[in-house]
Structure 1
Amino acid sequence: MITLTVDNLTPGMIVASPIVTKRGQTISKPGEKLTPQLIAKLSFYKIDVVTVEGQASAPVDTDIEPSKPAPKEEKKEKAEETKPAPKPKEESRVSDQITYTQRLKQSSHFQKFQSDYAINIANLKDHFNAIIDGGNADCCADLLEQCEALFKSKTNLELFDMLANMRNLEDPIYSHSLNVGLISRAIGKWLRLPKADLNTLTLAGLLHDIGKTQIPEDILNKPGKYTDEEFATMKTHPLLGKKILNGKGFDARILSAALQHHERSDGSGYPRGLMEDEIDDFAAIVAIADVYDAMTSARAHRDPLCSFQVISQFEKDGLNKYHTKYVLTFLEHIANTYNNSRIMLNNAKTGRVVYINKSNLSRPVIQLDSGEIINLADNIHNDIFIKSIL
């Protein structure tokens, strides 16, 4: 038996030991032959290593007598026959999808982004502390400059791919705040805001959760569901955030974002239950970035959702809860960002997004690795959805 990492598996290998997910679900039993689909499924369930049966040695050709060596031309033909066959295109695609995240994390541009991202996190934490200790808006110039440089370093697709792999940090307030700042800036760019407004919006995203620094850590970091009392405490952070920022020279829209980023257009939000026309525009944009980042992050009760699942959630109830113009702009651009991306469906089949349905952004047209084309917007595919972006 041989133990191999998932990216070193190839179709045709025989499973030697049961393959079980972290939650106890059996994916494959001993004796089962690995297929491209099964290998993709292992990657999807984050299986690190697999034990397979040892590969058999190459068969001996008994048609040639040992005492009579074959002519030179025949030897050449035999040598060519024993060369490993080229990997089929489908297998190559599966290999690509399995190793994408690993290759991304090993790339020099990811490592540079990760280093710059860590510097931004440390800088953001220092600025939070400085503001809490009495510092004013003037101290944030370099914070904004660093965030702007981080944003400029990537295309939209690269930026969102990078952020999706920045989830293992110990300071969730600061990593989330940096992500919301970057996502808010992306929305502002899509809305074609002038440079000065773009900078103000970015800073609003960076500082929107500063009030959480005043929430007790045992509540803030609680892995399970909040009690009613704990949730009531948690809901005070917008008021605390505005209080911290008030009177320190910040643009009024930044204070509004801190106070109103949990307000919803239908009046269901907090702390004041405002309606759409009562919510500041920048607060409405930051609210969308805030929810998107939260939903694409892992939680104690669920795995992170992929972008198309988040788009689906917004399409179901978000159009009533968020500013119509801003949420539609955001959803259309996010969906188009992932056009032509490799995906895995909830039935473990893999393929590529080939067309975005404008009237149903979360359910695009997919070309499967088999070559079959399916339109997820068709009623016959209601039970199929995009589970992950590969």
Structure 2
Amino acid sequence: MTTLTVDKLEPNMIVSEPVVTKRGQTIVKAGEKLTPQMIAKLTFYKIESATVEDIEEEAPVEEVPAPVQEETPEPKKTKPAQKEKKKEVDLAHPKEAVKQSYTQIPYTQRLKASPTFQKFQSDYAINLAFLQKNFDDILAGATCSTDEMLKNCESLFKSKTTIELLNMLGNMRNLEDPVYSHSLNVGLISRVIGKWLKLPLEDVNLLTLAGLLHDIGKTQIPKEILNKPDKLTDEEFATMKTHTTLGKKVLNGKGFDPRILYAALQHHERCDGSGYPRGLEEDEIDDFACIVAIADVYDAMTSARAHRDPLCSFQVISEFEREGLHKFKTKYILTFLEHIANTYNNSRVMLNDAKTGRVVYINKSSLSRPVVQLDSGEIINLADSAYSNFFIKSIL
């Protein structure tokens, strides 16, 4: 075992002793393999060092001399095949060859390899740890620095377009954390929606806080229910639904704006009266709760679940168009869907038949079914009945 200062720790090192804060909270368990997020979390909690397992050095491999081969007559040159000729052309233009091979790498893979994403990943982990600390402080009855929460949240927006932020959030999923990462994502997405709606900055900030704190009630739900990978029983689901009333109860009397409390209580209410906990209808639901509800559903649908892969943004838009438009306040849901769709205009996509192409036009009357120019050059309008069996499966 070796004790290293935090700045010397590297991903994939295995922790041999639990890392515990001064307050007794376990940050990393013994036997866990370090990730960039964990290292960032240690830095946030001002942990000075950690004990890791010794890395076994590989034994040097003895070099074996290659057998001497007899010279053979040089084969007679033949005219290269067409495939070989293309290779020669690419080699003659190395910049084009590199560009060609780079664009063939899936976008998600390119994104995760970028320095921008790696910096975002580290900042996101620090934000996550800070949000968890704020949840703990609120639950303990201590004061919570909302200004610091907003400042940290805003830092994740720096030097990023909306599409970059949404794509990065889509690659930060953690199945082992059903509360904090979702809360951070909903806070960020709610902030984006507030800006799209051109709300005053004060309201955008309050809306961000409402998104960050909307699921604090889930900290009061038994972990065996919260982390259950299978479908909940009726009794378990009834318990899960109490997180809304529990959230308002936790936040009540702590000096928060009433709209933040309403977001915690009402983010599962629906305009047609089909939601919970009270089955409220449109006029009875707070506006902030309506906006946070949209961010909540969007993040849930674009997140990986134990029973399914994440849906791409166009599939989520399709779900809203098919089942959800009447459940959400019209001006909020239409603004959100139009901006999401237009955010991905000109993006490369894959259809459900594995053909790839680029979105060239967004159909306002059918946002989930844009016009796509396939790599073959063919242009297809997914809104036409002739293409009713096709849809965008993923964004590349």
Aligned partner of 1:132: which letter?
Answer: L
- Deviation per CA, 1:288-340, whole angstroms, max 9, x where unpaired? 00000000011122111000000000011211100110000000000000000
The match for 2:329 is 323
Q: 1:84 aligns with which of 85, 88, 97?
A: 88
Structure-1 separation of matches of 2:222 and 2:87: 65
The match for 2:107 is 100
How far 1:101 sits from its partner (Å)?
1.9
Query: Does residue 249 of structure 2 align to residue 256 of structure 1?
Result: no
Structure-2 separation of matches of 1:239 and 1:209: 10
The match for 1:17 is none
Q: What is the aligned-residue identity percentage?
A: 73
Aligned partner of 2:361: which letter?
Answer: Y
Structure-1 separation of matches of 2:277 and 2:369: 34
The match for 1:343 is 349
How far 1:139 sits from its partner (Å)?
2.3
Aligned partner of 1:370: which letter?
Answer: S
Choose 308-317 or 100-109, whichever is displaced more: 100-109
Query: Does residue 242 of structure 2 align to residue 229 of structure 1?
Result: no
Give the direction of change, closer, same or farther, for the CA distance of 1:350–1:83 in structure 2 (3 Å limit): closer
- Deviation per CA, 1:139-161, whole angstroms, max 9, x where unpaired? 22211110012123411011011
How far 1:98 sits from its partner (Å)?
2.8
Query: Does residue 134 of structure 2 align to residue 127 of structure 1?
Result: yes
Query: The residue matched to 2:88 in structure 1 has which SS?
Result: coil
Which blocks of at least 5 consecutive residues in structure 2 are unaligned?
A: 1-73
Structure-1 separation of matches of 2:355 and 2:250: 50
Aligned residues: 316
How far 1:168 sits from its partner (Å)?
3.2
The match for 1:267 is 273
Structure-2 separation of matches of 1:149 and 1:318: 32
Contact 1:220 1:234 in 2 (8 A): yes
How far 1:180 sits from its partner (Å)?
0.2
Give the direction of change, closer, same or farther, for the CA distance of 1:216–1:81 in structure 2 (3 Å limit): closer
Name the Cα RMSD after superposition. Answer: 2.3
Query: Does residue 210 of structure 2 align to residue 204 of structure 1?
Result: yes
Structure-1 separation of matches of 2:235 and 2:356: 45
Query: Does residue 392 of structure 2 align to residue 381 of structure 1?
Result: no
Structure-2 separation of matches of 1:273 and 1:245: 22
Query: The residue matched to 2:90 in structure 1 has which SS?
Result: coil
Which gives a bigger RCO, structure 1 or 2 (Cα 8 Å, sep 6+)? 1
Which blocks of at least 5 consecutive residues in structure 1 are unaligned?
A: 1-58, 65-79
Structure-1 separation of matches of 2:86 and 2:217: 67
How far 1:96 sits from its partner (Å)?
1.6
- Deviation per CA, 1:185-209, whole angstroms, max 9, x where unpaired? 0000000011110000000000000
How far 1:131 sits from its partner (Å)?
0.3
Query: The residue matched to 2:393 in structure 1 has which SS?
Result: strand
Structure-2 separation of matches of 1:127 and 1:191: 28
The match for 1:6 is none
Aligned partner of 2:88: which letter?
Answer: P
Aligned partner of 2:385: which letter?
Answer: N
Query: The residue matched to 2:373 in structure 1 has which SS?
Result: strand
Give the direction of change, closer, same or farther, for the CA distance of 1:60–1:251 in structure 2 (3 Å limit): farther
How far 1:102 sits from its partner (Å)?
2.0
TM-score with structure 1 length normalisation?
Answer: 0.77
Contact 2:175 2:306 in 1 (8 A): no
Contact 1:364 1:375 in 2 (8 A): yes
- Deviation per CA, 1:263-310, whole angstroms, max 9, x where unpaired? 000000000000011100000000000000000011122111000000
How far 1:62 sits from its partner (Å)?
4.4
The match for 1:50 is none
Aligned partner of 1:201: which letter?
Answer: L
The match for 2:296 is 290
Choose 103-112 or 331-340, whichever is displaced more: 103-112
Give the direction of change, closer, same or farther, for the CA distance of 1:81–1:235 in structure 2 (3 Å limit): closer
How far 1:84 sits from its partner (Å)?
2.1
Query: Does residue 309 of structure 2 align to residue 300 of structure 1?
Result: no
The match for 1:367 is 373
How far 1:60 sits from its partner (Å)?
4.7
Contact 1:292 1:310 in 2 (8 A): yes
TM-score with structure 2 length normalisation?
Answer: 0.76
Contact 1:97 1:342 in 2 (8 A): no
Structure-2 separation of matches of 1:135 and 1:294: 30
Choose 357-366 or 85-94, whichever is displaced more: 85-94
The match for 1:247 is 253
How far 1:94 sits from its partner (Å)?
7.6
